[in-house]
A and B are shown apart, each in its own frame.
Chain A
Amino acid sequence: MRQAEADVCLLLEGTYPYVTGGVSSWVHQIITRMPDVRFALQYIGASREPALEMRYTLPANVVAFESMYLFDEPLPAEPARLDEPGRGRLYGALAAMHEAMRDGEVAGPFHAVLAGLAGAGGGGSRCPMHRMKKAPNLRNLLADREAWDLLTRLYDERCPGESFIDYFWTFRFMHLPIWQVMAASRRVPAARVYHTVSTGYAGLLGAVLRALRGRPLLLTEHGIYTKERKIEIAQAEWIHAARQQGFVAFQGLGYLKELWTRCFGFMGRAAYEAADAITTLYDGNRRMQIEHGAPPEKIQVIPNGIDVEELGKLAAARASASARPTVGFVGRLVPIKDVKTLIRATKIAVAAIPDLEVLIAGPTDEDPAYTRECMDLVASLELGGHVRFLGKQDVARVYPRIDVLALSSISEALPLVILEAQAAGVPVVATDVGACRELLGGRGREDRALGPSGLLVAIADPEEMAGALVRLLRDPALRARLAAAGGARVGRYYRQSDIIERYRALYRRHIESAPAAAAAGAEG
Chain B
Amino acid sequence: MAGIGFTLRLALARGTLAGTARAYAVGAVVSSGPWVLSMLSLGVLGVLARALVGEAGLTLFFATVTHVFAFSLILTGPLQLVFTRYVADLLYLRRREAIFPAFRGALVVTTAGLGAIGLPFALALEVSPIYRVAALALFTVIGGIWVSMLCISAAKRYERIVAAFLAGSAVSVAGGWCGARVAGADGLLIGFLAGQAIILYGLIAVVSAEFPRTRGLSFEHLGHFRRHPALAAVGLAFNLAIWIDKILAWHHPESGVAVNGILRFSPAYDLPAYLAYVAVIPGLAFFVVRLETDFAEAYQGFFDRVVHRGTLGEIRAEKAAMVAALRDGVTRLIRLEGCVCLALVVFASRLVASLRLEWVHLAVLQVDLVGVLPQLLVLTSLTVLFYLDEKRSALLLASVFLAANAGGTALTLALGPTWYGYGMAGAALLAAVVGIGLVNRHLADLEFVTFMGQPVGTRGHEEPEPAPAPSLEAFATGETTRDQSPASSTSSR
Contacts and interface: CB of A to CB of B under 8 A. Distances in A.
B490 A165 contact: yes
Interface in B447-493: 448, 451-452, 456, 458-459, 490-493
B310 interface: yes
A142 B458 CA distance: 13
Interface string B345-360: 0000000000000000
Interface of A: 47, 49, 71-73, 75, 142-143, 145, 147-148, 152, 155-156, 160-166, 168-169, 172-173, 176, 238, 240
Nearest to A139: B456
Nearest to B310: A164
B453 to A, nearest CB: 8
B458 A169 contact: no
A73 B457 CA distance: 11
Given A165-B490, A169-B492, A176 B456 contact: yes
B463 to A, nearest CB: 13
Contacts of B315: 164
Contacts of B311: 160-164
A180 to B, nearest CB: 10
Nearest to B448: A148
A148 B313 CA distance: 15
Nearest to B451: A168
Contacts of B451: 148, 165, 168
B490 A169 contact: yes
A319 B490 CA distance: 65
A195 B491 CA distance: 36
Contact of A172 (B310, B312, B448, B456): B456
Contacts of A163: 309-311
Given A145-B448, A161-B311, A166 B458 contact: no
B44 interface: no
30 contacts: A47-B458, A47-B459, A49-B459, A71-B459, A72-B459, A73-B458, A75-B456, A145-B448, A152-B312, A156-B312, A160-B312, A161-B311, A163-B309, A164-B309, A164-B311, A164-B315, A165-B306, A165-B309, A165-B310, A165-B490, A166-B309, A166-B491, A168-B451, A168-B490, A169-B490, A169-B491, A173-B492, A173-B493, A176-B456, A240-B491
Given A168-B451, A169-B490, A169-B492, A240 B309 contact: yes
Given A152-B312, A169-B491, A173-B492, A164 B458 contact: no
A147 to B, nearest CB: 7
A139 to B, nearest CB: 9
Given A72-B458, A142-B456, A165 B491 contact: yes
A302 B188 CA distance: 103
A143 B490 contact: no
Nearest to A144: B452
A240 B490 CA distance: 13
B127 interface: no
B302 to A, nearest CB: 12
A497 B313 CA distance: 63
Contact of B312 (A47, A142, A164, A238): A164
The 7 closest A-B pairs by CB, nearest first: A163-B309, A164-B312, A71-B458, A169-B492, A148-B448, A47-B459, A168-B451
A160 B312 CA distance: 7
B307 interface: yes
Given A72-B459, A164-B315, 11 more contacts: A71-B459, A143-B452, A160-B313, A164-B309, A164-B310, A164-B312, A165-B309, A168-B451, A169-B493, A176-B456, A240-B309
Interface in B287-329: 306-307, 309-313, 315
B339 to A, nearest CB: 42
Contacts of B309: 163-166, 240
Contacts of A165: 306-307, 309-310, 451, 490-491
By secondary structure, the A interface counts as: helix
B448 to A, nearest CB: 5
How big is the B interface, by class?
A: 10 to 19
A86 B306 CA distance: 32
Q: B452, B490, B491: which has the most chain A beta carbons within 10 Å?
A: B452
Interface in B12-66: none
Contacts of A142: 452, 456
Contacts of A172: 456
Contacts of A145: 448
Nearest to B457: A71
A152 B452 CA distance: 12
A62 to B, nearest CB: 28
A320 to B, nearest CB: 58
Contacts of A238: 493
A336 to B, nearest CB: 24
Interface string B93-122: 000000000000000000000000000000
Contacts of B448: 145, 148
Nearest to A163: B309
A168 B307 CA distance: 12
A164 B491 contact: no
A164 B452 CA distance: 13
A145 B452 CA distance: 9
Nearest to B314: A164
Nearest to A159: B311
Nearest to A180: B458
B306 A164 contact: yes
A148 B452 CA distance: 7
Contacts of A164: 306, 309-312, 315
Nearest to A143: B452
A240 B452 CA distance: 20
B226 to A, nearest CB: 19
A148 B453 CA distance: 11
A416 B309 CA distance: 48
B447 to A, nearest CB: 8
A156 B311 CA distance: 10
A163 B309 CA distance: 5
Contacts of A240: 309, 491
Contacts of B491: 165-166, 169, 240
Contacts of B313: 160
Nearest to A168: B451
A71 B493 CA distance: 11
Contacts of B310: 163-165
Contacts of A75: 456
B29 to A, nearest CB: 42
Contacts of A161: 311
A172 B490 CA distance: 12
Nearest to A75: B456
Q: A72, A152, A169: which has the most chain B beta carbons within 10 Å?
A: A169
Contact of A147 (B452, B490, B493): B452
A52 to B, nearest CB: 14
Nearest to A176: B456
Contacts of B493: 169, 173, 238
A164 B311 CA distance: 5
Interface string B420-464: 000000000000000000000000000010011000101100000
A71 B458 CA distance: 5
B321 to A, nearest CB: 17
A176 B491 CA distance: 16
A155 B313 CA distance: 10
Interface string B249-277: 00000000000000000000000000000
A73 B493 CA distance: 17
A158 to B, nearest CB: 12
Nearest to B449: A148
A155 B312 contact: yes
Q: B309, B311, B493: which has the most chain A beta carbons within 10 Å?
A: B311
Contacts of B312: 152, 155-156, 160, 164
B444 to A, nearest CB: 12
B55 to A, nearest CB: 63
A162 B315 CA distance: 12
A162 to B, nearest CB: 7
Contacts of A73: 458
Contacts of A176: 456
